[in-house]
Structure 1
Amino acid sequence: MTYDLVVKNGLVILDNGEIQADIAVKDGRIEAIGQNFEGEKVIDASGLIVSPGMVDAHVHITDPGGGYRDEWEGYITGTAACAKGGVTSFMEMPLNQVPATVNKESLDIKYAAGENKLKVDVASFGGLVPYNLDGGIQELNEGGVSAYKCFMATCGDRTIDGDFENVNDFNLYQGMKQIAETGKVLAIHAENAEITDELGRIAYESGETTLKAYVDSRPVFTEVEPIRKAILFAKETGCRIHICHVACPEGVTEVTKARNEGIDVSCETCTHYLYFHRDELDGIGPVVKCSPPIRDLNNQERMWNKLLAGEIDFVTSDHSPCTPDLKDKENAFEAWGGISGVQNNVDILFDEGVQKRGMSLVQFAKIIAKNPAERYDLKNKGEIAIGKDADFTFIKPNAPYVLKAEDLEYKNKISPYIGREIGAQVVRTILKGETIYSHNEGVSQEFKGSFI
């Protein structure tokens, strides 16, 4: 039999270990794994790691911008960055686009905005906000969202009609009851809004301007308390929940404890929490500002311990870009809180996890692909296995390079990783059997992606 594509001679990461093997692809799916296949197209992966393409479970695309954020990240540039970074599919957040994705109308607007603009596959979050508890949750479920997202921290611009809004305790409780009926997961940004807002205001009015002061205005307990509350509400309502971008090991401990008690809860952390630390932030500038904040070096190492121990389900980028003017602030408290990172998940995690800390290739593939795909029920994604989509990223190990601004596919070429030496490279990305990025030819001009 002749297959559409055969990937030969790579070290292939399977669910139970890595093997030197060939992969045969037909009609965009993996048909066989073994040796001596014939293909209309053959790609030699000698010397490379063949990993499942990353499923980045936390990405913000601002398309449409609604006349307010039109110069932020769009589908074309955002999905091009994914392709170059080894991300073959992602979960798109229901903000910061305008209108936010909170009902059928806004979901349809989002789908229309992405038509013929996707270089990778995209699954959608629907939002839980105070103003969509009268039918919006159900409309989103019927429209095909993969999961839901809410903020316990303050978010959104109240001057923009249709922007996202955070929930109060009653909204959260009512929304959880409705989402429980869908069987889908509610992902939660867990920070105590009242305390962090007030501590931030006091610091700002006291003349604080640094990122260190910003970090100190969002102490660890302001993460832990809402995580505990969300878990308690989940236990009461039966809602499956996921805690987004946990930045402290104490928060992970709460999730582990709840999981051991039988509550259906998972959590993620982000690449930047495993890479940067508090004492270097002001030297980098507001481009590295985010919330929850990046904490100290001891916190970072304990997060690695939690990840390597299997307590953190997956790692995401929380790619949340904006325009440069919103980052270019003398006062860190005035800067936009979000990091552009989707292009540098796979290479940095491979370098920092596998090459520097001895993470197994199997665990690496699980935290970037299998675990998020399973959590959000993306049935055809997440692993190299017969019947799954032929989504691969080829990694060249021990191949250091220095990231430059011109390397970035983002609409606005800003990133805290610029100037950093990264010890591995993504050299090819394949989506459903089609090369969408190669080191030699760059990102494909075609739009092979689709909404899941």
Structure 2
Amino acid sequence: MKEFYELIIRNGDVVLPGEVRKLDIGVKHGKIAMLGEALGSSRGSRVIDAAGQYVLPGMIDMHVHFNEPAFGHWEGFRSGSASLAAGGCTCYADMPLNGNPPTVNLAALRLKAEAAAGNSAVDYMLWGGLVPGNLEELEELASAGVAGFKAFISNPGGEGEGRFREVDDDTLYQGMVRIAAAGGILALHAESEAVTAALGAAAVREGRSGARDFAASRPPEAELEAVARALLYSERTGCRLHFVHISTAAALELIHEAKERGLDVTAETCPHYLVLNEEDLEELGPLAKCAPPLRSREEQDRLWAALAAGRVDLIASDHSPCPADLKLAPGLSFFEAWGGISGAQSSLELMFHEGVQKRGLPVTQMSALLSALPARRFGLEHRKGSIAEGMDADLVLLDPHAAYTLQAEDLLYRHKHSPYAGMTLSCRVQATICRGKVVYTAAEGLVDGSSGEWIRPGGSAGPVL
């Protein structure tokens, strides 16, 4: 009897762990039911011809800021997840800051979950936060299924008493003790507040307010000092660590040395550090402002070399949007402009354009950095991150020859500004499939904007709070 598949993807170059093979993929009940050659279709099967295209596991973007509750007008789950779907992402993790209230206790997590439910095109995880004063909340957040905990060693910005605050040393250490006891993981924005605050204040006081002045106020040493301090605390507490948006090869080397000593620690970097540099920062202005800042071209080359050598554990967008007037209003100095890059829609295309097609890295390595490795680090490897029978049918079709110039109107963000607008890319996402549902195609745009589910570490659906 012929096997029935709800969806068959034919003739694609399927990116598997360590190899690429021309295969058909049969999908049933949202799972990959069969990989094989010339799978037979039945009446009622949807068939997609992927000839000449890569079929990849959907990207897992562990670092986005959609800013709900209360600040959905900065982005929100609807537009943010739609942009991710258009970029080939099938699962993401939303960060705990910028929303009001920030996700630092169970009540705030409940509000975040309510805002996301029914409003996401693709599956998602939710981060909790570590801030001064919420040590007693960590165990409850962990039990509720947060992806992990985010903390800042430097001031994250923002206004108001309820805003997300950076940790002092005691909160960082005690928080790591409690997160370790709960079996959780701590994600750190690692820049020294003492260094960045002093240099930033001096620059403003002396009237040095340009792009390179901002970059100089957050030097590589600020990243290195914070990474070294956090690694010491990790060694003493046994807390698993994940360093977000690492911008220097030297910091990656410190983290690698800690792994060699047996620490459970990983590092991500972002497309903007691999594609843009200080020259772009000066040319593009606040559109390219982020923290840590873009580095020199020489540092960028060292970062690519570290990535090629296996020092990077995963790539994430750090999508951090805002209304245009907070970045581009006349009269704003570079220091005053909002620091964050809108890039979630472009991550996969940028990395295949720059990493695979320009720099010659293996397509399998880049796929792992975007999918398999984040799945493994955050407890999703039994459902997501690779193409294998029994896994969620989270797939993206990427045409490696469909060159196009990204225009602002192509972006599905609420605010259509990005440093990548105007860039010509050598590849393009043609379709994104989440748990067997086609949620986006290049021809139709967003097809389904509401079927994403909350996924908790271990791969189960999120609990009812």
The normalised TM-score by structure 1 is: 0.97
* Shift of residue 37, structure 1, vs aligned partner: 1.9
**Which digits, 9 at most, give the CA deviation of each residue in 1:254-304, with x for residues without a partner?**
001101111111000000000011022121110110000000000001100
Whole-angstrom distance in 1 between the partners of 2:446 and 2:128: 29
Equivalent residue for 2:191? Answer: 191
Q: Is the 8 A contact 1:268 1:313 kept in 2?
A: yes
* Shift of residue 158, structure 1, vs aligned partner: 4.6
User: What letter matches 1:46 in structure 2?
Assistant: A
Equivalent residue for 1:333? Answer: 335
Q: Secondary structure at the match of 1:333?
A: coil
Equivalent residue for 1:319? Answer: 319
**1:402 has 2:405 as partner:** yes
User: What letter matches 1:241 in structure 2?
Assistant: L
Unmatched 5+ stretches in structure 1: none
Q: Secondary structure at the match of 1:2?
A: coil
Deviates more, 1:244-253 or 1:200-209: 200-209
Whole-angstrom distance in 1 between the partners of 2:371 and 2:161: 35
Equivalent residue for 2:416? Answer: 413
Q: How does 1:238-249 map to 2 (within 5 A)?
A: 238-249=238-249
Whole-angstrom distance in 2 between the partners of 1:209 and 1:240: 38
Q: How does 1:216-255 map to 2 (within 5 A)?
A: 216-255=216-255
Q: Is the 8 A contact 1:125 1:147 kept in 2?
A: yes
Whole-angstrom distance in 1 between the partners of 2:158 and 2:211: 22
Pairing partner for 2:47 from 36, 42, 48: 42
Whole-angstrom distance in 1 between the partners of 2:451 and 2:52: 27
Q: Secondary structure at the match of 1:254?
A: helix
User: What letter matches 1:140 in structure 2?
Assistant: L
**Which digits, 9 at most, give the CA deviation of each residue in 1:68-94, with x for residues without a partner?**
x34201010000000100011011111
Whole-angstrom distance in 2 between the partners of 1:182 and 1:211: 42
Equivalent residue for 2:309? Answer: 309
**1:18 has 2:23 as partner:** no
Q: Secondary structure at the match of 2:335?
A: helix
Equivalent residue for 2:435? Answer: 432
Equivalent residue for 1:447? Answer: 450
Equivalent residue for 1:210? Answer: 210
User: What letter matches 2:252 in structure 1?
Assistant: V
Equivalent residue for 2:138? Answer: 137
Q: Secondary structure at the match of 2:156?
A: coil
Unmatched 5+ stretches in structure 2: 456-465
**Which digits, 9 at most, give the CA deviation of each residue in 1:388-442, with x for residues without a partner?**
1100111111322111110000001110001111111111101011111101111
Equivalent residue for 1:278? Answer: 278
Q: CA RMSD in A?
A: 1.1
Q: Secondary structure at the match of 2:208?
A: coil
Equivalent residue for 1:53? Answer: 58
* Shift of residue 156, structure 1, vs aligned partner: 4.2
Q: Is the 8 A contact 2:406 2:423 kept in 1?
A: yes
Q: How does 1:93-112 map to 2 (within 5 A)?
A: 93-112=95-114
Whole-angstrom distance in 2 between the partners of 1:171 and 1:84: 39
* Shift of residue 183, structure 1, vs aligned partner: 1.4
* Shift of residue 165, structure 1, vs aligned partner: 1.0
Pairing partner for 1:423 from 413, 422, 426: 426
Q: Is the 8 A contact 2:270 2:318 kept in 1?
A: yes
Pairing partner for 2:91 from 89, 92, 97: 89
Whole-angstrom distance in 1 between the partners of 2:341 and 2:82: 17
Whole-angstrom distance in 1 between the partners of 2:158 and 2:414: 22
* Shift of residue 35, structure 1, vs aligned partner: 1.6
* Shift of residue 118, structure 1, vs aligned partner: 0.7
* Shift of residue 36, structure 1, vs aligned partner: 2.5
User: What letter matches 1:271 in structure 2?
Assistant: P
Equivalent residue for 2:80? Answer: 78
Q: Is the 8 A contact 2:438 2:448 kept in 1?
A: no
Whole-angstrom distance in 2 between the partners of 1:233 and 1:351: 38
Q: How does 1:108-123 map to 2 (within 5 A)?
A: 108-123=110-125
Whole-angstrom distance in 2 between the partners of 1:398 and 1:310: 27
User: What letter matches 2:309 in structure 1?
Assistant: A
**Which digits, 9 at most, give the CA deviation of each residue in 1:200-239, with x for residues without a partner?**
1110111112111100111111000110110110000000
Whole-angstrom distance in 1 between the partners of 2:22 and 2:219: 47
User: What letter matches 2:100 in structure 1?
Assistant: V
User: What letter matches 1:227 in structure 2?
Assistant: V
* Shift of residue 17, structure 1, vs aligned partner: 0.6
Equivalent residue for 1:392? Answer: 395
* Shift of residue 57, structure 1, vs aligned partner: 1.1
Q: Is the 8 A contact 1:9 1:46 kept in 2?
A: yes
User: What letter matches 1:310 in structure 2?
Assistant: G
Whole-angstrom distance in 2 between the partners of 1:117 and 1:61: 12
**Which digits, 9 at most, give the CA deviation of each residue in 1:135-192, with x for residues without a partner?**
x10111111112111110112435142x211101100000000000121211100000
User: What letter matches 1:51 in structure 2?
Assistant: L
Pairing partner for 1:5 from 4, 7, 19: 7
Whole-angstrom distance in 2 between the partners of 1:213 and 1:180: 39
Q: Is the 8 A contact 2:78 2:449 kept in 1?
A: no
Equivalent residue for 1:179? Answer: 179
Equivalent residue for 2:151? Answer: 150
Q: Is the 8 A contact 1:2 1:37 kept in 2?
A: no
Q: Is the 8 A contact 2:13 2:52 kept in 1?
A: yes
Equivalent residue for 2:463? Answer: none
Q: Is the 8 A contact 1:287 1:327 kept in 2?
A: yes
Whole-angstrom distance in 1 between the partners of 2:449 and 2:292: 36
How many aligned residue pairs are there?
447
**Which digits, 9 at most, give the CA deviation of each residue in 1:354-400, with x for residues without a partner?**
10111111101110000011101013111111111100111111322
Whole-angstrom distance in 1 between the partners of 2:59 and 2:72: 27
Equivalent residue for 1:351? Answer: 353
Deviates more, 1:56-65 or 1:230-239: 56-65
Q: Which runs of 4+ in 1 moved over 6 A?
A: none
